[in-house]
Structure 1
Amino acid sequence: MLGISQWRTRVGSMGMWGVAALLIPLVLLPMSFLVYGSFQSAPPGQAGLWTLQNYDVLWSQDFLELVRNSVLLAASVTAIALIVGSFLAIAITRWNVPFARLFDQLTIIPAYIPAFVGAIAWSFLLSPQSGYLNKPLAALGIPRINIYSWGGVVAVLSIYSVPVIYLSLRPALLSIGKSLEEAGRLLGAGRLRIAREILLPAIRPAVLSSALIVFINTLADFAVVGVLGTRAHLDVVALRIVELTTKGVFDTGRASVLGLVLAMFSVVALSAIVRGLAHRDLAIIGARHNIEPAPISPAARVLGLALCLGFTTMAIFLPIMVLVIGSFQPYLSTTFSSGWTINNYELMARYPGALTAIFNSVLLSFLAAITCAFLSAVLAYIVVRRGGRMGALVNYISISPLAVPHMVFAVALVWTWVGTSGVFYGTRWILLAAYVALLLPYSMRAAVTAFQQLDPVLEDAGRMSGANWSRVMFSIVAPLVMPGIVAGATIVLYQAMKEISASLVLYPPGQPVIPVAIWSLSYQGQFAQLFALCVVYIALIFALVAGLSVVNRRYARL
């Protein structure tokens, strides 16, 4: 017979695999239904026949243009974000740029600002006729800049993609000791050869993985294109999916086909990244180094400082400034002659669904963060400690939504759960399921790293001291991995607050979230409430992230 300790261990093991089984309805089932839906002649919830008619969208006149625009936009944004993000990371971590610590924090802040909110702000900064910046530029004789253009869309998406690159490259650059560069110089290598043969191979995984995230996120973006690109007649696959699922058409069959096209491009990009990482033959041995700034010319320091100032001004100060100013004006005016008022915030509170949207966003973001923290803790333990083929399979399934555009996954959820209308589908809880499935890869990455840094000897010592499995988990393992778990939950929290692609497809009538409410206000032209809600939105994200950061610091001290 099994003893009590053995029973607890077995029950704990069964519980872990039970949690892993949740990945089937959470991830695998929706993606299967997306393929199924592409062959159905009727919308979800209605009896239909098997058909290939939905695939006629692939032979439509504008399909190639949609694909070309989507891929070109994603490639352009990825290239620009890589260049700017790489230079920022090098300037802040490797050069002696003034106020490097301050810029290190400021460069991360745009990650918390939704790109479509930034697009709204820039639409008022660089509106061709009445932009806050265009009028002063015209007074100086400088040609007006038209933000409603292909270049405007690329610029805004690039600005808010830079933090993804920076956050990946920063730790990679900090892990490279100055001694490696000095060794290269002693062997007669110049700066370019050191960069090519030492720095680039070391940061290549970070470059490729962050580039993949930016590429997929841009492929799935419709909001920035909707705000800035429609006047320039710019259309992309993601925006067409929105039109097919939210504007009374509800042609989910063709939307599923287009979703599979986006997923295919994402998988191709992922495969290219995997091949790029397959032959990595460089490893950095030793603890993390305290990096001394590399010797650099004064001209390069000035260039680095100008880049840092320019980026933070464009990504943070100008957009937030115009939103705050606009939220206190009775009507938008670049001359500030309209006076000031706080009535816009009262109007925002009266807007149908605004307070409900705030409540839903905060509630669902917190629940998504907590759920992802729990799931990632259990799944990461299976991946790292149990290993084997099952561990690898769990890891692959849990991170696979990273390669699926959020809007595509939302359409998949519609096909999967439409039969539960009123119970699950059509309620706020389907939004929670979408957030958890789509954002689980971020918390998994943090949790797996935390478990990999924890020596198994500590668990063995606990068992040798007579502690059972549950006591070892809760008394030894949990406190040590908690900082990583909370860090992952923080990412999930602000990403869930920002999520608009899945939210616009799945939100139930009368139960919007903040991004959906902002999207509605922008299309209705109610700018007073729009600006006030944007300010409240950004303030909420910063407050929630700051709160979790305090919790994380407390756990880190334990």
Structure 2
Amino acid sequence: MAGVIPGARSSRGRSRATDADWLNRVLVVIVGAIVLIPTGTLVVGAFSSQPPRAPGQSFTLMNVGRAFTTPEYLAALGNSVLIGALTGVFSVVIGTAIAFAVGRMRLRFSRFWENIVILPVYVAPLTMALSAEALFAPRVGFINVLLPNTSFFDIFGLPGIVWVLTVTFSGIVFLYMIGPVRNLNAELEEAGAVLGGSRWNILRRVSIPLLAPSILSTFIVVFLLGAEDFSVPGLLGQGAGFHTLPTEIYYLVTYQPSSPNLAAALGLTLLLIAVIGIAIYRRLSRNALRYVTIAGKYRASRTFEPRRFRWLPEVLIALWLVVAILLPVGGLVFGSFLKFVTPHITASSFTLANYQRIFSGTGPQPLLNTLILALLAATIVAFLGALISYGLRYGRTRSRGVLDYLSILTLGIPGAALAVGILWAYVGLPAGIWGSIWVLLIAYVTRAIVHGVRATTNSLRQTSPQLDEAARLLGAGLARRMRTIQFPLMSAGMRSAWVLVFIYAVNEVTASVLLATQNSETVAVKIFNAVQMSGPIQAFAYAVIQGLIVGLALLLFNRILGAGDRRRGRLG
């Protein structure tokens, strides 16, 4: 009996389009509009003598030539690449190790560790850098003053920058990796144990190779996040003479005389690095079926339990949390009640005026703007990322590759450069987008798409395509398969994506500073302005409020999801 074989080729040699392919085509249009409009405007500006649509605009190679030949900019590019590489390596090692401990070991307080280890992600990199400066600044830092050697650790320069970014991004790595680590089929590891493999050999030859695509994609994301970060190098590197490409771009945009076209050309250099990173990732992870560990029923168990020193993993995690969370957050809260930074603390040094100033003037409007933008951006990106991940996994046409590149393209563009592209693209529209919070929403979604795609892809990669194919052959349409199969399988990744994007939207500062107006200011903009005008103490108070917004929102989010999970469990 003749039938249609899934994936069979037609007589013309082309694969028959599936509903995933049609979904990809729709997503290419949507994501392309979101990503290519500002990116394309940025590229046009890089090769123009004037901003797009400005009088006297003409084609020129001068900006690109200066970007690739000026020693100052080449050194800044090298510094950015070095920061990204070091941050990526340290963050992936630490975040993946903690994910293994929490996800594959029988820890007494595993739920507590899982919730507490991502606390550094709640704090903006700028705020973490401010806190690190208060703790480890030479001669006046709280830690350096308490120790006999006042130069115990100088936070300014490359080591301090990498340390702050590693503390922040290790939590992101944990969120990316906890789903894939838990989805590893324990039967494969137990088979290795039956064949006489030691736990170290099983980890090295079975577990880590199965996680290789997730580790690689996570490293690429963190590398690009570290390379394009402006706030930390801007605060901790400027005094040490350590300049990066994002700081150079920011100065070209904001300082007079400004040169936004040259800034756009500098932004293209990091975009080129991002494209190369995407190509390497796609080449190394082309054979995705090699990493499938879930096909129908599977059994996940906690395999790696130390026979001796069972307390050691929790002690190591606790020590990391003290250094990465307790000290910075404690210094942040402590500093928010001071009148000014000083190593000589007395009772008269404390005040509530920093918090009183937050609720004076414009009042809670920046808090409301921040909450609205974060909720909308997180929800949009979580669902859009899940749809893109499905299309990338099951699509067969060329639109799949196009969609993959579009989904990560803007990660390599520094926030200041992308803000210039968005400004040029939307400033003249009659719809009233410019000057409102909606232009910020466009910027957040554009930058954060990659978080939704990578988080959900990591959860989806280890599931067999046979599950979706079986449902399709039984007559289930795309919408029903997404609702009953794919979304549940990607639920851990979607939750991670929602958390990541919510935190990113609350903490985003570089693009927000350039795009926000007086009516659309966010808490992150207030922190930045406080650093520039009032000093770090007022910024500490804003940062504490920012952290409370993130913490309370995520607590409510987890409670809602937990109640839903318990209700479904009773019904099931």
Give the TM-score normalised by structure 1. Answer: 0.84
Check 1:249–1:513 CA distance in 2 against 1; reply closer, same or farther (3 A cut).
farther
Whole-angstrom distance in 1 between the partners of 2:137 and 2:68: 35
Q: Structure 2 counterpart of 1:166, which letter?
A: F
- Matched residue, 2:102: 92
Secondary structure class of the residue paired with 2:338? coil
Question: Displacement, 1:492?
Answer: 2.3
- The one-letter amino acid paired with 1:506 is L
Q: Which moved more, 1:200-209 or 1:214-223?
A: 200-209
Shift of 1:95: 4.8
Checking the alignment, whether the CA contact within 8 Å between 1:362 and 1:497 is kept in structure 2 is yes
Q: Is the 8 A contact 2:471 2:481 kept in 1?
A: no
Cα distance change on mapping 1:190 and 1:553 into 2, 3 Å:
closer
- In structure 1, what is the Cα distance between the partners aligned to 2:92 and 2:389? 29
**Residues 387 and 406 of structure 1: CA distance in aligned 2, closer, same or farther (over 3 Å):** farther
Partner in structure 1 of residue 16 of structure 2: none
Q: Of residues 104, 108, 113 in structure 1, which corresponds to 2:114?
A: 104
* 1:171 counterpart (179, 184, 206): 179
Q: Is the 8 A contact 1:369 1:490 kept in 2?
A: yes
Between stretches 209-218 and 415-424, larger displacement belongs to 415-424
SS of residue matched to 2:60: coil
Cα 1:45–1:422, aligned 2, differ >3 Å: closer, same or farther?
A: farther
2:274 to 245, 266, 278: 266
Q: How does 1:436-451 map to 2 (within 5 A)?
A: 436-444=445-453
Q: Which of 36, 43, 47 lines up with 2:44 in the alignment?
A: 36
Alpha-carbon distance between aligned partners in 1 of 2:240 and 2:178, rounded to the nearest angstrom: 36
Shift of 1:388: 4.3
Q: Does 1:83 align with 2:93?
A: yes
Would you say the 8 A contact 2:530–2:538 is kept in 1?
yes
* Alpha-carbon distance, 1:520 to partner: 1.5
Asked if 1 retains the 8 angstrom alpha-carbon contact of 2:127 and 2:540, the reply is no
| Secondary structure of 2:433's aligned partner | coil
Given candidates 205, 211, 214, the residue that maps to 1:203 is: 211
Structure-1 residue corresponding to 2:300: 289
Amino acid in structure 2 at the alignment position of 1:29: I
Cα 1:169–1:367 shift into 2, 3 Å: closer
Q: How many residues end up aligned between the 2 structures?
A: 536
Q: Secondary structure at the match of 1:419?
A: coil
2:81 to 57, 71, 75: 71
Match of 1:524 in 2: 533
Q: Could you tell me how far 1:35 is from its partner in structure 2?
A: 1.6
Aligned counterparts, 1:308-347, within 5 A: 308-334=317-343, 336-339=345-348, 340-347=350-357
User: Does the 8 Å contact 1:482/1:555 carry over to 2?
Assistant: no
Aligned in 2, Cα 1:83/1:23: closer, same or farther, shift over 3 Å? Answer: closer
Q: What is the TM-score of this pair, normalised by structure 2?
A: 0.82
Give the deviation of 1:284 after TM superposition: 2.5
2:235 is aligned with 1:224: no
| Compared CA separation, residues 354 and 231, structure 1 to 2 (3 A) | farther
- Report 1:88-487 matches (<5 A): 88-95=98-105, 99-138=109-148, 141=149, 143-278=151-286, 281-285=290-294, 287-298=298-309, 301=310, 304-334=313-343, 336-339=345-348, 340-350=350-360, 355-373=364-382, 375-376=384-385, 388-390=397-399, 393-394=402-403, 396-420=405-429, 423-444=432-453, 455=468
Instruction: Give, as a single letter, the amino acid of the residue that structure 2 aligns with 1:51.
Output: T
How far the C-alpha of 1:457 sits from its partner, in A, is: 6.5
Q: Structure 2 counterpart of 1:117, which letter?
A: T
Residues 103-112 or 400-409, more deviating? 400-409
> Which residue identity does 1:125 align to in structure 2?
L
Q: Distance in 2 between matches of 1:218 and 1:474?
A: 34
Give yes or no for contact 1:353–1:510 (8 Å, CA) kept in 2: no
Residue 535 of structure 1: aligned partner: 544
Q: Distance in 2 between matches of 1:18 and 1:443?
A: 17
Counterpart-to-counterpart distance in 1, 2:452 and 2:251: 31
Q: CA deviation at 1:551?
A: 2.9
Say if 2:102 and 2:114, in contact at 8 Å, map to a contact too. Answer: yes
Q: Secondary structure in 1 aligned to 2:212? A: helix
Of 391-400 and 129-138, more deviation after overlay is shown by: 391-400
- Counterpart residue identity of residue 240, structure 2: A
Specify whether residues 476 and 74 from structure 1 end up closer, same or farther in structure 2 by C-alpha distance, changes over 3 A only.
Answer: closer
Asked if the contact 1:44–1:418 (Cα under 8 Å) also holds between the matched residues in 2, the reply is no
Counterparts in 2 of 1:119 and 1:44: CA distance versus 1, 3 Å: same
Q: 3-state SS of the aligned residue for 2:369?
A: helix
Deviation at 1:154, TM superposition (A): 1.1
- Aligned-partner Cα distance in 2 for 1:157–1:100: 25
- Given that 1:486 and 1:548 are in contact with CA atoms closer than 8 Å, whether structure 2 keeps it comes out as no
The CA deviation at 1:71 is 1.0
Confirm or deny: 8 A CA contact 1:43 1:251 kept in the other structure. Answer: no
1:384 and 1:277 map into 2 onto residues whose CA distance is: 12
Assess if the C-alpha contact under 8 Å between 1:483 and 1:553 holds in 2: no
Structure 1 residues 93 and 542: CA distance shift in structure 2, 3 A? same
- Higher mean C-alpha displacement, 236-245 vs 402-411: 402-411
- Letter of the structure 2 residue corresponding to residue 24 of structure 1: G
- Judging changes above 3 Å, is the alpha-carbon distance between structure 1 residues 353 and 430 closer, same or farther for their aligned structure 2 residues? same
SS at match of 1:361: helix
- How far off its partner does 1:101 sit? 3.6
**Superposed displacement of residue 332, structure 1:** 3.9
> SS at the partner of 2:239?
helix
* Cα RMSD, aligned residues only: 3.5
Alpha carbons 1:479, 1:555 under 8 Å: kept: no
* CA shift for structure 1 position 296: 4.0
User: Could you tell me how far 1:323 is from its partner in structure 2?
Assistant: 1.8
Please say if 1:502 is aligned against 2:511.
yes
Amino acid at match of 1:535: V
Q: How many Å apart are 1:135 and its aligned residue?
A: 1.4
Amino acid at match of 1:75: A
Distance 1:46 1:228 in 2: 36
Structure-2 separation of matches of 1:386 and 1:226 = 42
Please list every run of 5 or more consecutive structure 2 residues that lacks an aligned counterpart in the other structure.
Answer: 1-20
Q: Supply the AA of the counterpart residue of 2:42.
A: L
Is residue 368–residue 492 contact of structure 1 (8 Å, CA) maintained in 2?
A: yes
Structure 1 gaps, min length 5: 1-12
Q: What is the CA-CA distance between 1:534 and the residue it aligns to?
A: 0.8
Q: Which residue of 1 aligns with 2:31?
A: 23
Which deviates more, 420-429 or 447-456?
447-456
Give the aligned residue type for 2:128: G
The residue type paired with residue 326 of structure 1 is: G
